Amino acid sequence: MDYSDRDGHIWLDGQLVEWKAATFHVLTHGLHYASSVFEGIRVYDGIAFALEQHQRRLLASAAALRIDIPFTVDELCAATAKLVSELGVANGYVRPVSWRGSGSIEVPGFDAGSHTAIAIWDWPSVFGNEARVAGIRLGTSRWRRPDPATAPTHAKAASNYAIGTLARHEVAERGFDDALLLDWQGRLAEATGANLFLVHNGSLHTPIADCFLAGITRATVMELAEKHKIPVVERRIWPEEINDADEVFLTGTAYEVQPVRAIDDKVFSPGPVTRVLQDAYQAIVRRVEG
């Protein structure tokens, strides 16, 4: 699918624009210096899940990169809801993005200006329905998440995702579905675009999110775990502790709750804790009473 060649509309700087006309100049600052931030939001049964949380995070990420977004959270939420209705997407993916414009091509970008867009499209499971049950395979990458003193790791910034792109390409050549990233000190961090959880003796263990994004789905799953009396522990985790895990899964807006069936040569079976949280997550995003 060529994302530039589709029918429909994109919300761009406050207006609905024909999809194919939503373009920008080649000398846009965001293209040259990665001065852009974005969000990923899922639509379930015509309603965007955690919409306000995501749009608030977009503005927070922009503030971290000193990108001025001239829209409020309410305006961005209203624009998203309008797009969902306009395009008739029942189950899909929303991509809000803000970037510095072409008013300047110097590194600081003081006078570059900014643009904000929201696009939406139909999008099922990332890895397919079979992988939701059987799980995916992770390969450990040589690329690492950086020291938080060297990058805006708390922001959903495009610059942070270059590492994930490189890692994903690296492990794909070895036949893996996604990459496992360590942090700058060699501890477990996350996958290329999803947070990591290990299940050990009925408890959830997840790395402290100080050098990668603490996802909204991550927080949702941790709350669900507590409701189901599953202890949650945030701590430093070393790679060798993978051998003690009973189950492993990833969380993210796109990934939802995604079981992992192997990390390098270590094999896992998606188990009862993962299944409980998968079902609980689907119930909450689809507003199922129970």
Q: Is 266 a catalytic residue?
A: no
Alpha-carbon gap, residue 143 to 145, rounded angstroms: 7
Alpha-carbon gap, residue 224 to 285, rounded angstroms: 12
CB atoms within 10 A of CB 214: 17
Which is the catalytic residue, given 156, 227, 229, 266? 156
Give whole-number Cα distances, 169 to 60, 165, 173, 250, 263, in Å.
Answer: 29, 6, 7, 19, 16
SS3 38: strand
- E strand intervals along 192-270: 195-200, 203-207, 232-235, 247-252, 256-263, 266-267
Residue 158's identity, in one-letter code, is: A
Question: What letter would DSSP give residue 183?
Answer: E
Question: What letter would DSSP give residue 161?
Answer: H
Q: Which residues are catalytic?
A: 156
